[in-house]
Structure 1
Amino acid sequence: MTRLHKGRGAASNPEGRFESTRFQAEDDGWHREDDETRPATEVREELARSVITRNDSPDVGFDQATNPYRGCEHGCIYCYARPSHGYLNLSAGLDFETKLFAKTNLEEVLRGELAKRSYVCKPINIGSNTDPYQPIEKKWRLTRAALALLNECHHPCTIVTKNAMIERDLDILVPMAERNLVHVFISINSLDNKLASKLEPRASAPHRRMKAVETLSRAGVPVGVLVAPIIPALNEKDVEAIIEQAGAAGARSIGYTCVRLPHELKQLFREWLELHYPDRASHIISLIQQMNGGKDYDSNFATRMRGQGVFADIIRKRVQVATRKAGLDRAWDTVLDVSRFVPPRIVSPQGELF
């Protein structure tokens, strides 16, 4: 059943694309609004066998990544990672933002992978799939554990987040920055708090994220802003203002993507539009399709991130002009230092002989 859930992005919980059984809810007239409780966040512990994933997509700015969590409590309705919950026999809808998995052995497994003789040091991106500073990080502290390990062995990394909680780890980030081992990217796609509370309900408010940019920059941590995703006729009006404020806050670079709607996301985003912006839902979908060759989503590496066609070209030029005016660089152009890397020691119950 499609309905608003306070503090959540998705309005339903459709079966994943791999499920063989489908359920259809029917209203028998007996339903009352107070019959349903708010969906609670559940965190399950996961013992990962490996935690570094490799990437060979030409349109992604990093070669390897690690994600401390599966699912994301931020609940961003546009999140391209939502369909990945289907591999767990869970829904890309409410399940993705309420049924979360914490890789509790992350630090141990990461240490083992970095210690392998065959390992080649390349910057690791933290937060490529789900946000490493989502609210549950406050308790589980897995992102902090990964950062502490990378700092210990002088391994470079990039971080992508839309949560100001990253300020907590300045005691690790500052010494890493002094050795050119870290670059942070804060995602800000709107300056409208009301829109953000619907679009990404449990992420930090836009003004708070901009403040985090300033805090990181003043501390000497290189930080960029990702205007992502840009959604036509919804948040694209803020593009220039975001870039201008990012420059004033001390950001060094700007990146952007346009909204993507793969797999189950097509249905979820349409439901969200009909609930929150029914007056322009069809117009927004029409513009998205115009940017994707007439489809909801085009998986072509050359166009999937930024779209194609007239409207996509307008957005690209607007970003370029605003970035140039603010005196900023392009995101992902920074080269981090891989020469300092020292493989970590593996803790042995027998101790060390030398």
Structure 2
Amino acid sequence: MPGLTHFSDSFWGTGFTSSAGFDALVQRMNEGKKLSRELEDYFRQRGKLESSYSQDLMKLFKSLKMKEVVDTIEKTWNSIKAEVEKMAESHSKAASSFQKQSEEMKKFAEVQTVKKRQLEDHVKRYQQNKNNMYTKCMNNKKNYNQKCQERDTAKSVFEANRQSVTITAKELEKLRMKKEKSEEEKSKADLAYQSSLDALEHARMEWENAFQTACNEFQSLEEERIAFMREEMWKSTNIDSLTAVSVDESSETIRKVLETCQVEEDISRFIEKCKTGQERPAKIQYENYYGNVPVENNVKSHATPPANRAPQPIPSQGTRPAPPQSRAPDARIVDVEQDSMYSTIDSSDSTYSTIDSSERL
């Protein structure tokens, strides 16, 4: 449980000129002012951060170009883009709220500063007057004590010389006048001392009333400051919560769209939309350059292609010429495995004719 709860009961002191209580309260007010400024700066910086983040999110949103909806995964992507825009708006609102808090905190601190300065000046004025009266009173007291000592000395000397037979009447009269003068000065000093005491008491009461009022006002300012700062801090946490809720709602929206995204469905839709056929290309068959001939004849003839042979002379009578070789006009050479080897030749691709005996010369 709290102990003392009133400034007006807790910041006094027995030292007549001591200002320890007042100084403690002023220090507290200055610390509160620093904290208010720090909180104001926090709100301002948070506003800048939220604004910057909002702008970055909006730039990111605008940089996302794909808009065409193809399948469910594209729907999800568009949902993400839309929610990013909402998140940017949420952070923009948070930035405005923090900026508003910063301005309100600044105004509040300025009002408190003015009130605190007025209270300080008021108390200092009465405190200075009290201290001046105290100094004057102490000087009068010192003078009064001195005059009392001088009066006692003058009286003692006069009484001692009045019984003497060696002192003249003139000298005794001087001693008597000195004694009377000291009596008069002592009375004046006593009056001045008592008068300064009354003035000091009046100054003390004025200071006490002023400080009593200041204590109450300082406490009111402090209570108001703590309550206001507590409220503003609470608001700032609410801003964060609202922003977080908004972001979470956007995330939940994206999650719901993601739940509708099916891998098989997207694959099936793409196939139905863009399919090009189910039949695959046939195997490319080997086509011999020379047509259908045995491999060994093909290899032999490869050394000197028929098209490049020189014309054969007509053999003499009684000699049977070798059958000329002919090549089909559409025969092609196929290079197999880059080693110039030929596979089996289909004899149907090339025709060898023989010379009938009726055609003999």
TM-score norm. by structure 1 comes to: 0.19
Q: Of the two, which has the highest radius of gyration?
A: 2
Which protein is richer in strand relative to its size? 1
TM-score norm. by structure 2 comes to: 0.18
